[in-house]
Amino acid sequence: MRCSLAILAIAASVAAQNSTSNTTLASVLTSNSNLSNLTSLVTSLNLVDTLSQLTNVTILAPSNAAFTKFMNSSVANTTLGDKGLLTALLTYHVLNGTINSSQIASMPTFVPTHLTNELVSNVTDGQRVEALNSSGTISFLSGLLTNSTVTQADITYNNGIIHVIDTVLEPPQDVAETAEAFNLTAIVGALTTLSLADIVDETSDLTIFAPNNDAFQAIASVLSNASTDTLKSVLTYHVIPGKVLYSPLIENGTQTTLNNSTLTLTVANGSVFVNQARVVTPNVLVANGVVHVIDSVLNPGSNATAGSNSSTAFPNATSASGVPFTSGVPTPTSVASVPSQVTAASTTGSSSSAGAAKAMATGMFGAGVLFAGALLAL
Ligand SMILES: *[C@@H]1O[C@H](CO)[C@@H](O)[C@H](O)[C@H]1NC(C)=O
Ligand SMILES: *[C@@H]1O[C@H](CO)[C@@H](O)[C@H](O)[C@H]1NC(C)=O
Ligand SMILES: *[C@@H]1O[C@H](CO)[C@@H](O)[C@H](O)[C@H]1NC(C)=O
Ligand SMILES: *[C@@H]1O[C@H](CO)[C@@H](O)[C@H](O)[C@H]1NC(C)=O
Ligand SMILES: *[C@@H]1O[C@H](CO)[C@@H](O)[C@H](O)[C@H]1NC(C)=O
Ligand SMILES: *[C@@H]1O[C@H](CO)[C@@H](O)[C@H](O)[C@H]1NC(C)=O
Ligand SMILES: *[C@@H]1O[C@H](CO)[C@@H](O)[C@H](O)[C@H]1NC(C)=O
Ligand SMILES: *[C@@H]1O[C@H](CO)[C@@H](O)[C@H](O)[C@H]1NC(C)=O
Ligand SMILES: *[C@@H]1O[C@H](CO)[C@@H](O)[C@H](O)[C@H]1NC(C)=O
Ligand SMILES: *[C@@H]1O[C@H](CO)[C@@H](O)[C@H](O)[C@H]1NC(C)=O
Ligand SMILES: *[C@@H]1O[C@H](CO)[C@@H](O)[C@H](O)[C@H]1NC(C)=O
Ligand SMILES: *[C@@H]1O[C@H](CO)[C@@H](O)[C@H](O)[C@H]1NC(C)=O
């Protein structure tokens, strides 16, 4: 059962408050000139009181510089002027729990937020944001691995804590939009061709292992000869239903897939393997779960595991010159960039200092635009 902001507000009003330090959210917002754009936005949405009354929260407050970048993005194009989407965007910036900067470690954590509206985000207990400390820099990664770095930490007020961030969070988008932004055109095409897009988009709490284009290309001969039923079974073998497994939570063991088969997960030498495939980009948040990009296609009929050569799952396959399933799939003009430290080690937040250029989304977030009116019922 999801809590609406209104219900939480009622709960908050009966909660005890600390009378010896009573700095209100409104006073923090108005006294910080770097947050004037956020203050205007919250005021224009009539949400100052509702936000102020939420207890035990962490607010990620985009600075004016963050808003300036946001205004020039294509996300702003669809979001601004739509009160429902703006409200959903704002709730994604409200984390459940008071988390000060010293609690954020190099091992990433996936913190639940108040973005619980099913029309935008279908993750039980609220969409997550990834929090990590890389060599003393605290950042939050959101949809498309967008990097929001904390520029001012630990501003406390009576009901919670505020961290100022340099980039507006990106609400996770659906699987196809996200895959396209990472140039994973083969899986986008496969989901469409095999009519699997709806089930993948409309089921909550999924963990999806998405093979990259090279992986599909390497087994092109098998794909071109397989029946539709076989292909569906291969694709659904890449999805774990009912569990959102962020990579730090992945342990050695087996998991049941959407086609009721079994995957073997292995964590070895700082890498995560699913059967024989290695996770090359972990923890890409999507509207209804998480995507991990892998380097080879999984075969439900194979027992290949970590350490096997990537070709062992389909031993007789040969590649082709083109990327399978991509006819009709638009080639992205810009591709989301992956922070190098995200690709390097998925189980620890290791120390490379590479920054991630902000990837501007090409679409709106999730199904939100279609149902924007309904979002006002938060
Ligand atoms: C109230 O806040 C003050 C100052 O932050 C702190 O010292 C005190 O322990 C708090 N009291 C309660 C009951 O939380
Ligand atoms: C804190 O301040 C607000 C606004 O001034 C007031 O409404 C509220 O009652 C105060 N709370 C406490 C516990 O003093
Ligand atoms: C953001 O704040 C700056 C500085 O106060 C102001 O010039 C600008 O118009 C504001 N932008 C929006 C979108 O409110
Ligand atoms: C928003 O996007 C549409 C379609 O791409 C475009 O025609 C329009 O000019 C854009 N508006 C702004 C304010 O960027
Ligand atoms: C605050 O929220 C966190 C995370 O939801 C929870 O673990 C903790 O118990 C809450 N604390 C209070 C005082 O409600
Ligand atoms: C916040 O977390 C608590 C448990 O720690 C949970 O009961 C509550 O529903 C969560 N609130 C939201 C808005 O997700
Ligand atoms: C996307 O992938 C295709 C096929 O692997 C490649 O030809 C193309 O250059 C890539 N596009 C970008 C923008 O990286
Ligand atoms: C959210 O997930 C549930 C359970 O999988 C599903 O029944 C529901 O239709 C989904 N909602 C949306 C808006 O996709
Ligand atoms: C899944 O497989 C198990 C064991 O092979 C079987 O007992 C169960 O009925 C299957 N469930 C579905 C939904 O096919
Ligand atoms: C997981 O399995 C790998 C490979 O068998 C092994 O090296 C590693 O120690 C195992 N990890 C744990 C925590 O058992
Ligand atoms: C995998 O299956 C093949 C053929 O069924 C068998 O020869 C091999 O021993 C199996 N390998 C493992 C690790 O179970
Ligand atoms: C986010 O960007 C900052 C500043 O560019 C950088 O120091 C930090 O390492 C980046 N974080 C991640 C996880 O990529």
How do residues 65-76 score in pLDDT, each as one tens digit?
A: 999 999 888 778
Cβ within 8 Å of residue 351, ≥6 positions away: 106, 134, 135, 341
Cβ within 8 Å of residue 77, ≥6 positions away: none
Q: Ligand 6 centroid vs 345 CA: distance in angstroms? A: 30
Strands 57-62 vs 160-165: parallel, antiparallel or unpaired: parallel
Stretch among 14-23, 143-152, 229-238 having the lowest mean pLDDT: 14-23
Amino acid, single-letter form, for residue 161:
I
Does 73 or 109 have the greater pLDDT score?
A: 109
The answer to whether residue 132 scores a pLDDT higher than 60 is yes
For residue 107, which phi and psi values (nearest 5 degrees)?
A: -80, 120
Query: In this predicted structure, what is the pLDDT of residue 79?
Result: 80
The answer to whether residue 283 scores a pLDDT higher than 90 is yes
Identical fold for domains 11-173+347-377 and 184-294, yes or no, is yes
> What distance in Å separates the CA atoms of residue 255 and residue 238, rounded to the nearest whole number?
11
Stretch among 6-15, 66-75, 95-104 having the lowest mean pLDDT: 6-15
Query: In this predicted structure, what is the pLDDT of residue 21?
Result: 66
All structural domains of the chain with their residue ranges: 11-173+347-377, 184-294
Q: Is 341 in the pocket of ligand 12 (CB under 6 A)?
A: yes
Q: Which ligand is nearest to the CA of 19?
A: 2
User: Of all atoms in ligand 12, which is nearest to the CA of residue 353?
Assistant: 9
Q: What is the DSSP string of 12-41?
A: HHHS---SSS---HHHHHHH-GGGHHHHHH
The answer to whether residue 102 scores a pLDDT higher than 50 is yes
Indicate the DSSP class of residue 232: H
Name the most confidently modeled range: 1-5, 187-191, 307-311: 187-191
> What distance in Å separates the CA atoms of residue 76 and residue 86, rounded to the nearest whole number?
9
Query: In this predicted structure, what is the pLDDT of residue 245?
Result: 98
CATH of 11-173+347-377, one of 1.10.3720.10, 2.30.180.10, 1.10.357.10, 2.40.390.10: 2.30.180.10
The answer to whether residue 18 scores a pLDDT higher than 50 is no
The answer to whether residue 343 scores a pLDDT higher than 60 is no
Residue 337 pLDDT level (bands cut at 50, 70, 90): confident
**Closest by Cα among 141, 159, 49 to 336:** 141
Instruction: Give the residue whose CA is nearest to atom 14 of ligand 3.
Output: 37
Q: Which ligand is nearest to the CA of 57?
A: 5
Q: Is 269 in the pocket of ligand 2 (CB under 6 A)?
A: no
Instruction: Give the residue whose CA is nearest to atom 6 of ligand 5.
Output: 97
Name the most confidently modeled range: 37-41, 77-81, 340-344: 37-41
Query: In this predicted structure, what is the pLDDT of residue 365?
Result: 39
Distance linking the first and last C-alpha atoms of the chain = 14
Residue 339 pLDDT level (bands cut at 50, 70, 90): low
Indicate the DSSP class of residue 355: P
Mean of pLDDT values over 340-346: 46
Q: Just give the CATH number of 184-294.
A: 2.30.180.10
Percent of the chain with pLDDT over 70: 83
> What distance in Å separates the CA atoms of residue 246 and residue 109, rounded to the nearest whole number?
9
